[in-house]
Structure 1
Amino acid sequence: MEKLKVGRASLTWLNGGVTHMDGGAMFGVVPKPLWSKKYPVNENNQIELRTDPILLEVDGKKMLVDSGIGNDKMSDKQKRNFGVWEESSILRCLDSLNIKPEEIDALLMTHMHFDHACGMTRWEGDELVPTFPNATIYTSKVEWNEMRHPNMRSKNTYWQANWEAVEGKVHTFERSLDVLPGLKMMHTSGHSHGHSIITFEDGDDVFIHMADLMPTHAHQNPLWALAYDDYPVTSVHEKKKWMEYGYQRRAWYVFYHDAVYRALKFDEEGQVLDKLKEKEHHYQ
C-alpha cells in the first residue's frame, strides 16, 4: 500500500478493485492517437481504472475517500462489461493496518456512481449492511438526491443496493463542507450534477483530489473531458480553475482511478515536480 504525507495528513491507498472502461468514452472527443500516448490501452480499447479508496488520517480521525467497487454487487455480465477483473479487498487492507471497519469515522464521497459507491455496503447473509457501521457519509445534497431518484440515464450508475442500507448515515452539504480544519469538500458539478472535489491545506502543504474531473494523470488538460460527464462544459471550467489553483500552491494531486500514479505534484507551469507511482497489482 502506497503512502503519502501532506502536512498533518497521512494518505494510504487501499485496494478497492479495478475496472476497464472504454478509452474513447474516458477521453471524450480527444482522438485516440493523442490520448493513447499518455495512458496505456489494451486490444479492446479499454483503459485500466483502479477503484482504490484513500485512507485519510487527519487529527486522529480515520476517513475514506470513496469506497471502491465492493464485493458481490455485480452479475457476471456486468463484471465483463465493466472489466471488473478484481473486486475489493479494502477490509483486508485495513486489517493489515490494524484498523477495524468500526474505526472508520467518515466516508468522503465525491459522487455516488457505482464504481465509487459499491463499497459502502456489504452482504451479511442475504442482507446488505453498512460496511463501515460508525462512519458518517458526506456527499453533496444534489448527489444524494439523484442517487435516490435517478433519471433515465443515471439509473444505470446509481444503484439502490448502494444507498438503502446507509440512508440514515448520510450528511449532505450545499456548496462546501469543512470536514476538519483545512479539509474541505467542494461541490463542482460536471462529471455528475452533484460531483465534489476534496482539498486539504496545512500551511504550504496542499493536496487536491479532483475525483472524476481528473480521473487520471492523462486528463491533466482542462479540455480533456469524459464522454461520461453529465455537464462537460462545467467540468472543463471547474478543472481549469482548480488546476490553476493547485499549480500556484504546488499541490499534490491524488488519484482514485489512476493505474500508473497515486499522486503527482506540479509546478506553476504544470510540469511534474514529484510523483508517487503505483505498485503493480496482480489480479485475483
Structure 2
Amino acid sequence: MDVFEIGGIAFHWLDGGVTNMDGGAMFGVVPKPLWSRKYPVNELNQIELRTEPILFQAHGKNILIESGIGSGKLNDKQRRNYGVSEESSLKESLAKLSLKPEDIDIILMTHMHFDHASGLTEWKEGQLVSVFENAVIYTSKVEWDELRKPNIRSKNTYWKENWEPIEHQVQTFSKSISPLEGIEMFHTGGHSDGHSVIRLTLGDEEIIHMGDLLPTHAHYNPLWVLAYDDYPMNSIHAKQQWIRPGRWYIFYHDAIYRAVTFSEDGKVQEGIKRSSSTLP
C-alpha cells in the first residue's frame, strides 16, 4: 500500500481493483502514435487503469475518495469487457491501517460510473447492502439524478445496484460544497454531466483530484479527452481551468504515478510513482 504525505496529511491508496481499457477510447481522437509514447499499451490495445480509492484523515475524520470496482459485483462478460484483472480488497487494505469499513466517515465521489461506485455496495446474505454504513457520501445533484434515471447512453455505467442500498447516505450539492474546512468539491461536468473535482487546501499546498477529467498523468493536454466523455468540450474547459503548474494532482486510475506536479510545458515536474508498478 502506497503512502504519500504532504501538508501534514498522509494519503493511502487502497486495493480497489484493476481494469484494462481500450487505449483508443481512453485517449479519444488522439492518434495512437502520440498517446502510446506517454502511456504503455499492451498487444490488445489496452492500457492498465487502477481503481484504487484514496484514504486520508482530516479533522478527526476518515475520508475516502472514490470506492473501487467492488468484489463479486461483475459477471464474467463484464470482467472480460472491462479487462478486470483484480477485484477490490478494500477491507483487507483498511485492516492494515487498523480500520474497518464502518470507520469511514466521509466518501467523496467525483462521479458514479461503475468503476468508481461499485465498491459502495456489496452482496451479503443474498441482498445488496452498504459497505460503508456510517459514511456520508457526497456527489453532485446532477450526477445523483442521472444515476437514478440514466439515459440511453449512461444506463450502461449507472447501475441501480450501486445506489439503491446507499440512497439514505447521500448528500448532494449544486455548484460546490465544503464537507470540512480545506476540503471542497466543485461541479464541472464533462466526463459525465454531474462530474466534480476535489480540491484539498493544506497550508500552502493545493492538492487536486480531477477524477476522469485527468485519469492519468498522460492526459495533461486539455484536448486529450476520453471517448467516454459525454460532454467533451466541457471536459476541455474544465481542464483549462483546473490544471496549473505547482499544484499536486492525485490519481485514482494512473498505473504509474500516485501524484504529480506539472511544469509549464506539461511535463511531470515531481512525481510519486506506484511502488509496485511494472510499467515503465
- What is the TM-score with the length of structure 1 in the denominator? 0.95
2:278 maps to 1:251: no
- CA displacement 1:38-69 (0-9 Å, x = unmatched): 00101110111000000021121111100001
* Residue of structure 2 equivalent to 1:167: 167
Letter in 1 for 2:233: V
SS at structure 1 position matched to 2:189: coil
Q: CA RMSD in A?
A: 1.2
* Residue of structure 2 equivalent to 1:279: 275
Letter in 2 for 1:265: T
- The residue correspondences of 1:16-95 to structure 2 (distance < 5 A) are 16-95=16-95
Distance 1:119 1:186 in 2: 22
Unaligned runs of 5+ in 2: none
- The residue correspondences of 1:86-165 to structure 2 (distance < 5 A) are 86-165=86-165
Letter in 2 for 1:104: I
Asked whether the equivalents of residues 121 and 162 of structure 2 are also in contact (C-alpha less than 8 Å), the reply is: yes
Asked whether the equivalents of residues 8 and 58 of structure 1 are also in contact (C-alpha less than 8 Å), the reply is: no
Asked whether the equivalents of residues 255 and 277 of structure 2 are also in contact (C-alpha less than 8 Å), the reply is: no
SS at structure 1 position matched to 2:243: helix
Most deviating of 164-173 and 266-275: 266-275
- CA displacement 1:219-266 (0-9 Å, x = unmatched): 01111010000000010010011013xx1xx11100000001011022
Distance 1:272 1:68 in 2: 26
Moved over 3 A (4+): 267-271
Q: CA deviation at 1:269?
A: 4.5
Unaligned runs of 5+ in 1: none
- CA displacement 1:193-222 (0-9 Å, x = unmatched): 000010011231111001100000110111
SS at structure 2 position matched to 1:206: strand
Distance 2:275 2:42 in 1: 19
Question: What percent identity do the matched residue pairs reach?
Answer: 59
Distance 1:122 1:169 in 2: 15
Distance 1:275 1:99 in 2: 28
Q: CA deviation at 1:279?
A: 2.3
Most deviating of 6-15 and 61-70: 6-15
Letter in 2 for 1:231: Y
Q: CA deviation at 1:280?
A: 2.3
